[in-house]
C-alpha cells in the first residue's frame, strides 16, 4: 500500500518507502505538536531531536504533514523548516480533503496523522498528548476528532495520555466505547501528560516493547478495526511539580472563563498560561515526554518488524 514516492494519494519519502518494503520499523511523527504545541525556534530542534530518537533505535522516522496540497509521510529538512515556521494551519481528518483539493499547507493532528500513516502503511506513531473530551463538553460538545479517528483507524499511538485540562475520565470512557485498547507502559496509571498519574487506572499494563508489539499484532490479527493507545508517563525527572501544576490549572481555567475563550482556542490559551507560569518547566516536560515517546515507538516498531 505504501507504493513508491509520488504514487497514490500520499507521497511517501524514498527512505520511508524503502524501509517499509524492507521490513524495517517505521515511526510516524505528528506535526501539529511541532507547528502549534511548541514555540519557535525550539520546535525546529525538537523536530530533529525526535527523528534522531527514532533512528537511534534502528527505525526510520516519518514526520507527516500536508505541503502544497500533497499529504507527505517522511519530510526533508526543508519541509521540516516549513512545518516549524509557525504559519501552518492545524488539520484534523475532516480538513484533509479541503487542504489537498485547494492545494494548501497544514500540520496534522493525531487524527489526521493516523489517517495518512495508515494510507502509507505505517502502523506505529508517536506524539505527546491525545485530544480528548473537554471539560464542560456536555454543554460545548467539544470532543476531539482524535477519539473517533482512533476508533476506526488501525494505528498504534504512543503518547503520554491526555492533559489534565481535559475531562480525563470521560476521555477514557469514549476510548472504551470506541473499542480502543489502552496499554500503560511500565505503569498502572493512565498518565496525565505533565504528571505521571492522572488519577485513573489503565486496563492493561506492559513492561517491554515486545509485549506492546505482541498485543498490537494480536489486536490486528483478530480483525479489530480500531487503533490502540500505548501510554507512557513523562520521565520522573521532568514531571511538573504537583502543586505548581494544580495552581496553573485552576488559574488557567479561571482565565478562560474571564476572557470567554472557547472551542479550539482553549488548548493554546491554557498551554501558553502553563508555559508562562512555570518558568519553562512545562516546556521541558513536554519536550522530554515527546522524545521518550518517539524512542519507545521506535522500539515497538522494531520489535514488531522482527
> Which parts of 119-148 interact with Mn ion (CB under 5 A)?
142
In the complex with Mn ion, the residue whose CB is nearer, 142 or 239, is: 142
110 is in an annotated binding site: yes
129 forms part of the interface with ligand PSU (CB under 6 A): yes
Q: Is 144 labelled as part of a ligand binding site?
A: yes
Distance CA 105, CA 82 (A): 9
Q: What is the smallest separation between the CB atom of 1 and ligand PSU, expressed in angstroms?
A: 23
How far is residue 56's CA from residue 67's CA, in Å, rounded to a whole number? 27
8 A C-beta contact, residue 152 and residue 225: yes
Q: Is 247 in the site for ligand PSU (CB under 6 A)?
A: no
Q: Tell me whether residue 37 or residue 74 sits nearer to ligand PSU (CB atom).
A: 37
Q: Are 83 and 34 in contact (CB under 8 A)?
A: yes
Q: Which does 282 bind (CB under 5 to 8 A by kind): ligand PSU, Mn ion, none?
A: none
Q: From the CB of 263, what's the least distance to Mn ion, in Å?
A: 6
285, burial (CB in 10 Å: exposed 0-12, middle 13-18, buried 19+)? buried
Examine residue 128 and tell whether it contacts ligand PSU (CB under 6 A): yes
CB atoms within 10 A of CB 267: 18
Q: Which residues contact 264 (CB under 8 A, 6 or more apart)?
A: 90
CB environment 116-129: b (16+ within 10 A), e (fewer): bbbbbbbbbbbbbb
Does 142 show up as a binding residue in the annotation?
A: yes
Partner from Mn ion, ligand PSU, none contacting 32, C-beta within 5 to 8 A by type: ligand PSU
- CA-wise closest residue to 252 among 227, 275, 286: 275
Task: Give alpha helix (H) positions in the chain.
Answer: 14-21, 32, 42-56, 77-83, 93-101, 110-120, 137-140, 145-152, 168-177, 209-221, 242-259, 266-277, 281-305
| Catalytic pick among 79, 123, 163, 295 | 163
For the bound state, the minimum distance from the C-beta of residue 164 to ligand PSU, rounded and expressed in Å, comes to: 10
- Provide the 3-class DSSP secondary structure of residue 263: helix
Task: Report the nearest approach of ligand PSU to the CB of residue 166 (Å).
Answer: 8
Is residue 265 annotated as involved in ligand binding? no
Near ligand PSU in 171-230, by CB under 6 A: 193
Q: Please report how close the Cβ of residue 70 comes to ligand PSU at its closest, in angstroms.
A: 20
CB of 9 to ligand PSU, least distance (A): 21
Residue 145 annotated as part of some ligand binding site:
yes
Is 251 among the catalytic positions?
no
Contacting ligand PSU (CB under 6 A), which of 27, 28, 99, 110? 110
Q: Which of 26, 33, 133, 289 binds ligand PSU (CB under 6 A)?
A: 33
- For residue 35, the 8-state DSSP code is I
Q: Which of 82, 118, 163, 299 binds ligand PSU (CB under 6 A)?
A: 163
What sign does the CA torsion over 296, 290, 226, 103 have? negative
The sign of the CA dihedral 118, 123, 126, 128 is positive
Q: Count of residues binding ligand PSU (CB under 6 A)?
A: 17
Among 2, 10, 12, 32, binds ligand PSU (CB under 6 A): 32
264 annotated active-site: no
Q: Choose the contact partner of 193 out of Mn ion, ligand PSU, none; CB within 5 to 8 A by kind.
A: ligand PSU
- Report the catalytic residues: 30, 163
Task: List contacts with Mn ion (CB under 5 A).
Answer: 142
Amino acid at each position: 500500500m505504501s507504493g513508491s514516492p509520488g504514487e497514490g494519494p500520499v507521497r511517501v519519502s524514498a527512505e520511508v518507502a524503502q524501509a517499509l518494503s524492507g521490513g524495517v520499523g517505521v515511526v510516524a511523527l505528528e506535526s501539529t505538536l511541532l507547528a502549534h504545541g511548541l514555540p519557535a525556534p525550539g520546535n525546529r530542534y525538537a523536530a530533529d531531536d525526535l527523528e534522531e530518537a527514532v533512528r537511534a533505535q534502528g527505525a526510520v522516522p516519518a514526520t507527516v504533514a500536508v505541503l502544497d496540497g500533497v499529504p507527505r509521510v517522511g519530510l526533508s529538512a526543508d519541509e521540516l523548516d516549513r512545518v516549524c515556521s509557525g504559519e501552518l494551519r492545524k488539520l484534523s481528518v475532516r480538513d484533509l480533503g479541503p487542504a489537498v483539493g485547494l492545494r494548501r499547507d497544514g500540520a496534522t493532528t493525531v487524527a489526521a496523522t493516523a489517517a495518512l500513516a495508515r494510507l502509507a502503511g505505517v502502523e506505529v506513531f508517536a506524539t505527546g498528548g491525545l485530544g480528548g473530551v473537554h471539560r464542560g463538553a456536555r454543554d460545548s460538545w467539544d470532543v476531539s476528532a482524535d477519539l473517533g479517528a482512533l476508533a476506526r483507524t488501525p494505528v498504534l499511538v504512543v503518547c503520554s495520555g491526555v492533559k489534565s485540562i481535559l475531562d480525563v475520565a470521560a476521555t477514557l470512557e469514549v476510548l472504551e466505547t470506541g473499542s480502543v485498547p489502552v496499554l500503560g507502559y511500565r505503569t498502572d496509571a493512565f498518565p496525565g501528560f505533565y504528571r505521571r498519574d492522572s488519577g485513573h487506572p489503565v486496563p492493561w499494563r506492559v513492561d517491554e516493547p515486545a509485549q506492546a508489539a505482541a498485543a498490537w499484532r494480536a489486536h490486528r490479527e483478530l480483525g479489530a478495526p480500531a487503533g490502540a493507545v500505548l501510554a507512557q508517563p513523562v520521565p520522573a525527572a521532568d514531571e511538573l511539580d504537583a502543586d505548581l501544576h494544580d495552581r496553573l490549572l485552576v488559574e488557567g481555567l479561571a482565565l478562560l472563563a474571564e476572557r470567554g475563550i472557547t472551542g479550539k482556542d482553549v488548548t493554546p490559551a491554557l498551554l501558553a498560561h502553563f508555559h508562562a507560569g512555570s518558568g519553562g518547566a512545562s516546556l521541558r516536560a513536554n519536550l522530554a515526554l515527546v522524545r521518550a515517546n518517539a524512542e519507545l515507538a521506535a522500539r515497538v516498531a522494531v520489535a514488531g518488524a522482527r
